[in-house]
Structure 1
Amino acid sequence: MARLFLVALMFFLAACKSDPVTLKFSGETMGTSYNIVAIDKTADLSSDALEAAITATLAKVNSQMSNWDPNSEISRFNSATSSDPIKISPELTSVMTAANAIHDKSEGLFDVTLGPLIEIWGFGARTPDSPVPADEKIAAALDVVGQSKVLTLDSGAATLAKHLPETSVYLAAIAKGYGVDQVAAVLAEAGIRDYMVEIGGDLVTAGHNPQGEAWRIGIERPDAASQTIEEVVDVSGLGMATSGDYRNYFEQNGIRYSHIIDGVTGRPITHGTASVTVLAENAMMADGWATALLALGQERGLRIAESEGLAVLFIARSPDSGATGFETTTSSQFSKLQAKP
């Protein structure tokens, strides 16, 4: 999932000796970048020790969830050909439990088994002359996907089983948010109560920013050419994720094909919803729901957001919306969270 927002933060610290210290860390992880702002009110934490703990935490998440590391826990599961239950870590169990919950509540549109469909549509490895897959290829891929039909999770026993050897689990739409939450837990354990952790656009915040104000984040207009902020939202104490279809796509014969695949049809989405932002209790749930609701589209997604009490901002393409070409719609919970006192 592409980086879909611009973070606007101003760091003004007074010069007096007793002031809190703002610690900032950044780097690369999970195929993207991360940025962390943590406020040490005691001014006595070791920046080096905290950075080492963050690095170790991110390395552990990669070793469990990365589809690009052939030795990761999920890669070993994917390479297995047995249909017997395989013991998995508590961390992977937690992520798969959340994935199953979102899958069930999203009419099956959130699906961690879509790897074969993603592959045949060429996203991530597409060349300009790659053809749209034939109907037969799509049908064959659909035979080995479908989270609820090809996987069995036993959360109590911490086991995961695939029903077909070709089935694979692809965690890009939820593991990044999980990684954000794990880093946030490291900060909280160190006694930090004011922070922002962001990985590739997914984030979680707590407390206040260095100015002592609510954390506020800019959401990009879903136009790859503009880098314009469409909305600025208050995310203090919440996880946030945005999913969009406007960076990773291709066009062929005048038709636009998004990287967001509908697991029911086996084809890219065709509705006009361009991006979805979700605010949730943690980044993992925001991450998964953002992908699910983008796949569903505004009309179906808003209905589910209201029934599930989700805080969601939809941005859709609209030729009638003036110069921007976009219109926004929010769920009632999103409006409540953004209401000014």
Structure 2
Amino acid sequence: MIKSSIKWLALIGLAFFISSCAKPEPKLLQIQGQTMGTYYQVTYMLSSEQSKNKDLSTESLQVLIDLELELVNDQMSTYRPNSELSLFNKSKDSLAVSDATIKVVKKALEVYQQSNGAFDITVGPLVNLWGFGPDKKPNKVPDAKLIENTKQKIGSQYLSIEGNRLIKSKPELYVDLSSIAKGYGVDVIAEFLTKLGIKNYLVDIGGELRANGTKPNDTPWTLAVERPEFGQNVQRLLHIGDNAIATSGDYRNYFESDGIRYSHTIDPKTGRPINHKLVSVTVIDKSSMVADALATAITVLGPENGLEFATKLNQPVFLLTKKDDGFIESFTPEFEEFFAEEK
């Protein structure tokens, strides 16, 4: 009896010794902050070797990430009077800017051409007119004549690039990159983490996300398409792999006047808020910048034209359209592989 007890205790001791010598399981680390008028959140995982590196601690990484995001704001913010973009908007014809700003504007002009003008980074004066700009006073419908006059001030066809110079052929042209800059910021942080050797992360800036690798135990990052109803219900679960995802919708930012609901998304062609039933657009791409821009373009185009546009691009896109009794899903064939099985 005594011998068996000793053996049993020895086994416990051996098990404790083995478990104490085992490598600790990697855990998820998280950094949170504010940028571009919204939140950012970086979730990442380090290897056991990386965990010993103080430069990769949450405190050290947050300082570096904040610096990266501050640079993006100094380049592309319309809220900072001395940002590159603000200085260009104040100029009469042209301004030399950074490679980063050129990159984002070049992609914006490309999507403008692809979408036949649905995506237009010069639409800011109309957004402000309808009360969805910095003043945030959406309470009444502007006069029709004022809408037409304001439309004369916009148009990406009046914006061009020569080398590192942004050029406008209309002195009053105003560029706002808010529909693409958050996505660009996500790409900046994702690529920064990759350069540091961090392979497993999820970067989120105001709902624009980019994932890479996995969570602990090789579990995939699981994301959700939200159903636009109270209670934040989940419409679909997704595994996006090493990709970015952006969602655009009109169900949160709007105002009502005389019983009519006016979306914050402005159609550059009409000068008015979109009035179709497409409430949510989700786009997957390698680049968050691209996904961000395309989601806005498809939202403006509407359910039929938007799906046709996405299909021509072979782009993974998921649409939710409001019907009297709920929502109708539609998606391109390329999107199907990202659906996660609900368990």
Q: Same fold (TM over 0.5)?
A: yes
CA distance in 2, matches of 1:251, 1:211: 48
Deviation, 1:285, is 0.6
Residue 174 of structure 1 aligns with which residue? 180
Count of residue correspondences: 316
Q: Say which of 104, 108, 113 aligns to 1:104.
A: 113
CA distance in 2, matches of 1:93, 1:63: 14
Stretches of structure 2 that go unaligned for 5 or more consecutive residues are 1-18
In the alignment, does 2:242 pair up with 1:237? yes
SS across alignment from 1:169:
coil
Q: Say which of 178, 194, 198 aligns to 2:204.
A: 198
CA distance in 2, matches of 1:152, 1:234: 38
Residue 32 of structure 1 aligns with which residue? 38
Aligned residue identity for 2:106: T
SS across alignment from 2:29:
strand
Deviation >6 Å, runs of 4+: none
Q: Say which of 123, 126, 132 aligns to 1:123.
A: 132
Deviation, 1:31, is 0.7
CA distance in 2, matches of 1:250, 1:271: 16
Deviation, 1:17, is 4.3
Aligned residue identity for 2:258: N
Residue 137 of structure 1 aligns with which residue? 146
CA distance in 2, matches of 1:258, 1:203: 23
Aligned residue identity for 1:332: P
- Which segment is superposed worse, 209-218 or 276-285? 209-218
SS across alignment from 2:178:
coil
Q: What aligned pairs does 1:1-341 form with structure 2 within 5 A after superposition?
A: 17-41=23-47, 42=49, 43-46=51-54, 47=57, 48-80=59-91, 82-83=92-93, 85-124=94-133, 125-127=135-137, 130-148=139-157, 150-154=158-162, 157-223=163-229, 225-319=230-324, 322=325, 325-338=326-339
Tell me which protein shows more helix as a share of its residues.
Answer: 2
CA distance in 2, matches of 1:151, 1:177: 21
Does structure 2 retain, via aligned residues, the 8 Å contact 1:176–1:202?
Answer: yes
Cα-to-partner distance string for 1:210-261 (whole Å, 9 max, x where unaligned): 34122110121122x2311111111120000100001111111121110100
Deviation, 1:305, is 0.5
- Which segment is superposed worse, 89-98 or 50-59? 50-59
TM-score normalised by the chain length of structure 1: 0.89
Cα-to-partner distance string for 1:26-82 (whole Å, 9 max, x where unaligned): 1111111111111111322321332221111011111111111111111111111x2
Deviation, 1:339, is 7.8
CA distance in 2, matches of 1:280, 1:329: 18
CA distance in 1, matches of 2:90, 2:216: 46
Deviation, 1:185, is 1.2
Stretches of structure 1 that go unaligned for 5 or more consecutive residues are 1-13
